[in-house]
Amino acid sequence: MFLHLDMDYFFAQIEEKRHPEAEGLVVVICVFSGRTKDSGAVSTVNYEGREYGIKSGMPIINAKRLAPVGKSLFLPIDKEYYGAISAQINFLIRQECKKVVQSSIDEWNAEDDLAPKKAEVLKNKIKKELDLNCTIGVAPSVLGAKMAAALAKPDGLKTIDASEERKMIDESIVEKVPGIGPKTNQALQSLGVKQVKDLAKIDPIKLIEIFGRKSGTHLHNLGIGEYERELGPEKEQEEVSRIGTLSHETRDPQLILSKIDELEKEAKDWLMEMKKSYKSLSIIFITQDLKTHTKSMSFHNPKMWSQDITNEEKELVAAFLKENPANLRRVGIRFGGFLDRGGQTTLF
Ligand code: TTP
Ligand code: MG
Ligand code: MG
């Protein structure tokens, strides 16, 4: 069985936790372009905001027109912080399931014989450790799991068997199938294909003529109920990070460094496993106001997991403490700029 996990209104949910005053408000995450005060696009919006028609990709100005006055919070995107939370979720999923592929900042696919049970455990763990809601779909195929999750959103868990999966996919309109974009949808509409099951009525030769061998075959297989039963390849990971909460808010270098040491060991297990050496090291500092700061250094000669970096860590922590007077709530470590141990770069 496969499971598909997608975080609910991910960036906006994280910001809700950071801003307790956001409770009940419309929360809009904005990518400000800086040209004028309000130019830019909406990254995402919480479910309250969706009720007013605010959507990802919409100009911020339009979202401001739709949002209820005095009941909305427009916040700038903080990708660094969301990436750190995503890395923590990634860690939890990999602790639980054997085969995992991350497909976006807030989405994972996993294969596991015990997927229904694992899904439940994971959902609870993410709630307990990060106080975040997600939705998980479980099905006999990767596509089925993803579509089950879409139907169960938000805060849902939906497990379906093979016949329920077939019915769900057959009856879905083609536009709702992940991978079928507006162009393919339009071409299918002109063939009279509305639901996925209508694809079975079209001669596969014709589908291949129109969409090419690969997509044409894929569409035909969808129509006859043959779905992918393998996780796709994982895209090359470009960094590994671990982040953790300090036992109390502090700026004591000793306490901070001992937490970093713990996180370093976890991240290095991964480096060792994946046979990577690295060229950059960052320490992430999350202050008591939940702002994220990073101090980084890079190395001309790549370092192996076995090399001691205590001095580098000390240096980065000291540099941060010198310029920022705030107490720290959480710290993290990140390794990047990977090279395979043979010396060849993996980052083309
Ligand atoms: P999604 O999972 O597509 O959306 P979501 O998590 O906000 O909401 P849902 O509950 O429906 O899953 O995307 C994950 C994050 O990616 C999202 O929180 C913000 C970002 N994103 C953008 O920046 N721009 C976009 O157009 C989309 C779709 C997402
Ligand atoms: Mg999501
Ligand atoms: Mg997503």
| CA 109 / ligand 3 centre spacing (Å) | 11
pLDDT of residue 68: 97
Coil, strand, or helix at residue 24? coil
Q: What's the rounded mean pLDDT across residues 25-49? A: 95
CATH of the domain at 289: 3.30.1490.100
Q: What's the rounded mean pLDDT across residues 27-39? A: 93
Rounded to 10°, the helix 182-190/204-223 angle is 120
Tell me, yes or no, whether 142 and 84 share the same domain. yes
Where do the DSSP E strands lie in the chain?
2-7, 26-32, 40-45, 72-76, 99-104, 107-111, 134-139, 157-159, 239-250, 276-287, 292-303, 328-336, 339-340
Tell me, yes or no, whether 118 and 130 share the same domain. yes
| CA 6 / ligand 2 centre spacing (Å) | 5
The catalytic residues are 107
Q: How many domains does the chain have?
A: 4
Q: Which residues line ligand 1 (CB under 6 A)?
A: 6-11, 43-44, 56-57, 105-106, 153-154
pLDDT of residue 34: 85
CATH of the domain at 177: 1.10.150.20
Tell me, yes or no, whether 66 and 84 share the same domain. no
CA dihedral 148, 150, 155, 156 (to 10 degrees): -10
| CA 174 / ligand 1 centre spacing (Å) | 21
* Atom nearest to 77 CA in ligand 1: 23
Task: Work out the pLDDT band at 188, boundaries 50, 70, 90.
Answer: very high
Q: What is the pTM of this model?
A: 0.80
Mutate-to-test residue for ligand 1 from 8, 10, 78, highest number of ligand atoms within 8 A of CB: 10
Tell me, yes or no, whether 56 and 85 share the same domain. no
Tell me, yes or no, whether 15 and 26 share the same domain. yes
Inform me whether the pLDDT recorded for 180 exceeds 90. Answer: yes
Q: Whose CA is nearest to atom 27 of ligand 1?
A: 56
Inform me whether the pLDDT recorded for 284 exceeds 90. Answer: yes
For 276-307, give the DSSP string. Answer: EEEEEEEEEEEETT--EEEEEEEEEEEEPTTS
Is residue 191 included in any domain, yes or no? yes
Tell me, yes or no, whether 86 and 154 share the same domain. yes
For residue 119, what are the domain limits?
A: 2-8+80-162
pLDDT of residue 236: 75
pLDDT of residue 234: 77
Inform me whether the pLDDT recorded for 122 exceeds 60. Answer: yes
Is residue 345 included in any domain, yes or no? no
